[in-house]
Structure formats: C-alpha cells, structure tokens
C-alpha cells in the first residue's frame, strides 16, 4: 500500500514541474501573461522620471540634518562624501559650516553711530557695559578726539568713555563754540581736559547715594582746555576774564541738560560737570556761579629796599646813637631822684603805719521801738 506521504510528494512534484519548464522556455524568466502586459504597456507608456540638476558649487551650505550625510556615505579617506559640495568651500567640514551659519548676525548701527563719522570725531565703538548693578549702558564709544572742519583734531586727555549721544554733544560744543572762543584768545584750541567720564559710582562719590550719570556713561567733567601755544584755560579759575567764563557758561547750558560748577555744591568747585540726564518736561539744571576775580592783597614779604636808601652801616650807627642818648637821659633822671631829701615818708610807709593800728568799730544803729515800726508799716500799706 502506498502511504499518504508518498502520494503528497508525488503530487507536489507534478505541480511544480510546469512553472520550471515555462522558465526554461522563456530564457529563465518567470512565466507571465505576456499578452495582457504588452497591451497595458502600449496603452500607458512609462514616462522617464526627471532627475534633479547637480548642486552648483556657489550654492550656500546646507543647514540642519541635510548638511550631515549618513555615516555609510564616507569615502575611503574617512571624510563624508561630497563634503566640499555641501559646504561650498573645499576642505571644510559640515560641522564648521553649521557653526558659521548659526553665528548671530552683526548688530545694526544706531542712527547716532551712523551720524558720528570720522569727519566729526575719532570715536570707535566699544562693547556695551552691563553692571555691576545699574551701571553701564549701550551704544558706547571711546571719544579720543574731535575733528574740526579744517581737519585739525582737538584731543580729549585722556580719552572718554561715554554714550554716542553724549559724544555727539561734546563734539558739537567744541566745534561750534570753543573753537571761536579760543580764536579770541589768540591761539587755536588743542586739547580738552577730561577730569572724569564713565565711572560706576553714586553721586559725588558718596557710597549709597543715587546713581550718578557717570555710572550710566552719560556725563563728562571738564576742568578746562589747552591752547596750541601751551596756555591752559581753567574754567573755574577766578583769574580768568569774567566775560570768558560767562561765555562758556551760556554755551554749555545750551548743549547739555545738567551743568554744575562753583557754588552749586561743595563737589564742583574745581571743575564743570556736564551730562544729558533725561527728566520730565525736559527740565534742565544750570548751576554755575561765575565769581568775580579775587581782590589784590598786600604781599607778605617786605618791599624791595629803594636804591636811594642810606647804607645799612650808617643806619645802624644812627640807631645806636639814639639808644645812647636815651640811656643818658634815663641815668640823669635817676640821679636827681636820689638827691631828694627823705623828710617826707614814702606813701608805702604811711600805708604800713595805718595798717598797724586797729580800726575803731563802727557805731551800732539806735534801737527801733515796736510801735513805731507798726505805724510805719501801716502807712506803707
């Protein structure tokens, strides 16, 4: 009896034989319904899929995950394939391109910074100052010199750190007002004496006081200006002409919102404080008392000996002679007093004699009768 397993194997062999024969007749390809497939191709021809254009070399580098090719796309040298094409620069890794692409853009210049050109002032920009505390500011410059219309420079000694708006006000003040004022003095202006600019501190250098405009890089202290001939014009010097100092007073009060000078307080007797503090209703402070020149006082040293004065030896001899005559007069008067008789006692002896005798007691007042005192009391009441 043939087993069921043998029958199953025989049937499976018979069913598998025709497809194998069909593959052998068709050149090893599986048998399909060729008629239906050829008709479908004739009715719907297959269109060619368009391929993308190659990436140009000048294209910007790819960002994100596209810039990092998979690890299995590296070439034999260990460098990712097409790294030059993706970064846009030969020899640069995609990670470097990512860092450059993620770099923050350069900050845009403010309107003040664009207007303060090198034709007006030498004032390079510096990074913002943040802290400590409320100190610091933005849009800062280091004002090194003011450029005049004739290309001459007025140096700030030393260079001042301040905001761009404050530097612009200082430059306009020097160019418009100090230059003609120095011309009146007979020599062009050469330098501006910077007593103090940015400093993180309270007002008047007092610890715990309200923040000074110096701490906000919004102030400048000026002691004076120097002329080309070497003269130093100190603005608080009372020996300087009064009209010159008054001219500077009216000038600075026009350009700055705060002006403090002598007699404003005890802290601005030797310099002028200038700032651009913002207040409500555009309130301005201009406190500078232009004091009168000090009166001329007598010198402490004696005057110079005149040429027509007698020689010192003769003067000393005259003084010695006068002294001898005075001594002679004193000696003669003493001898005359010694020749007087001693008949009269000296007053001191008489006084001593009176003091030797006891003084008599003063008489006692008479007794007063009681009735008389009562009547007298009644009359007063």
Q: What is the pLDDT of residues 256-306, one digit of tens each?
A: 999 999 999 889 999 999 999 999 999 999 999 998 887 777 667 777 888
End-to-end CA distance of the chain: 182
Question: Is residue 72 classed exposed, middle or buried when 0-12, 13-18 and 19+ CB atoms within 10 A define those classes?
Answer: exposed
Provide the angle, in degrees to the nearest 10, between the axes of the packed helices 164-173 and 242-255: 150
More confident residue, 52 or 100: 52
More confident residue, 327 or 6: 6
Instruction: Tell me the DSSP string of 54-75.
Output: PPPTTSPPP-GGGGS--GGGB-
Q: Residue 211 has what DSSP assignment?
A: B
Q: Please report the pLDDT score of residue 217 as a whole number.
A: 96
Q: Please report the pLDDT score of residue 376 as a whole number.
A: 43
More confident residue, 144 or 205: 144
| Residue pair 176/168 in contact by the 8 Å Cβ criterion | no
Q: Please report the pLDDT score of residue 379 as a whole number.
A: 40
Identify the CA nearest to 162 among candidates 141, 144, 147, 177.
141
| Residue pair 275/256 in contact by the 8 Å Cβ criterion | yes
Q: Considering only 98-112, 262-276, 331-345, which range has the smallest mean pLDDT?
A: 331-345
More confident residue, 103 or 118: 118
Alpha-carbon span 288 to 271, nearest angstrom: 10
Alpha-carbon span 133 to 246, nearest angstrom: 38
Whether residue 109 has pLDDT greater than 80: yes
**Mean local confidence (pLDDT), 141-165:** 97
Biggest CA–CA distance in the chain, Å, is: 205
pLDDT digit string (tens) for 174-229?
A: 999 999 999 999 999 999 999 999 999 999 888 888 999 999 999 999 999 999 99
| Mean pLDDT across the chain | 76
Alpha-carbon span 174 to 191, nearest angstrom: 10
Banded pLDDT at 52 (limits 50, 70, 90): confident
Token pair of 297 as six digits: 């006082």
SS3 344: coil
Token pair of 259 as six digits: 């002006």
Q: Please report the pLDDT score of residue 351 as a whole number.
A: 43
Whether residue 241 has pLDDT greater than 70: yes
DSSP E strands in the chain: the ranges are 121-122, 125-126, 129-130, 136-137, 140-147, 153-163, 189-196, 219-227, 232-234, 258-260, 272-275, 285-287
């Amino acid at each position: 009896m043939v087993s069921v397993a043998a029958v199953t194997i025989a049937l499976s062999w018979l069913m598998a034989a025709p497809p194998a024969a069909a593959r052998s007749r068709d050149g090893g390809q599986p048998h399909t319904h060729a008629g239906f497939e050829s008709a479908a191709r004739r009715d719907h021809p297959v269109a060619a899929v368009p391929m993308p254009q190659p990436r140009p070399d000048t294209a910007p580098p790819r960002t994100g995950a596209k810039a990092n090719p998979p690890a299995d796309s590296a070439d034999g040298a260990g460098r990712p394939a097409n790294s030059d094409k993706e970064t846009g620069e030969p020899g640069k890794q995609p990670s470097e391109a990512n860092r450059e692409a993620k770099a923050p853009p350069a900050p845009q210049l403010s309107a003040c910074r664009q207007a303060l050109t090198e034709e007006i002032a030498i004032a390079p920009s510096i990074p913002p100052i943040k802290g400590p505390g409320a100190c610091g500011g933005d849009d800062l410059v280091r004002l090194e010199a003011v450029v005049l219309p004739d290309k001459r420079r007025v140096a700030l000694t030393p260079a001042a750190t301040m905001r761009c708006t404050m530097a612009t006000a200082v430059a306009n003040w020097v160019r418009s007002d100090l230059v003609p004022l120095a011309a009146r003095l007979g020599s062009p202006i050469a330098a501006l004496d910077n007593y103090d600019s940015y400093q993180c501190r309270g007002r008047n250098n007092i610890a715990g006081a309200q923040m000074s405009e110096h701490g906000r890089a919004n102030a400048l202290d000026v002691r004076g200006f120097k002329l080309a001939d070497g003269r130093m014009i100190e603005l608080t010097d009372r020996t300087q002409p009064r009209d010159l100092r008054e001219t500077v007073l009216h000038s600075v009060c026009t350009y700055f919102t705060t002006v403090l000078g002598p007699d404003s307080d005890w802290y601005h007797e030797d310099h002028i404080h200038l700032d651009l503090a913002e207040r409500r209703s555009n309130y301005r402070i201009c406190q500078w008392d232009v004091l009168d020149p000090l009166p001329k006082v007598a010198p402490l040293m004696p005057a110079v000996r005149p040429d027509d004065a007698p020689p010192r030896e003769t003067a000393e001899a005259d003084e010695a002679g006068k002294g001898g005559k005075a001594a002679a007069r004193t000696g003669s008067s003493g001898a005359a007093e010694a020749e007087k008789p001693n008949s009269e006692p000296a007053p001191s002896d008489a006084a001593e004699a009176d003091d030797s005798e006891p003084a008599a007691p003063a008489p006692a007042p008479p007794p007063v009768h009681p009735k008389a005192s009562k009547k007298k009391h009644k009359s007063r009441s």
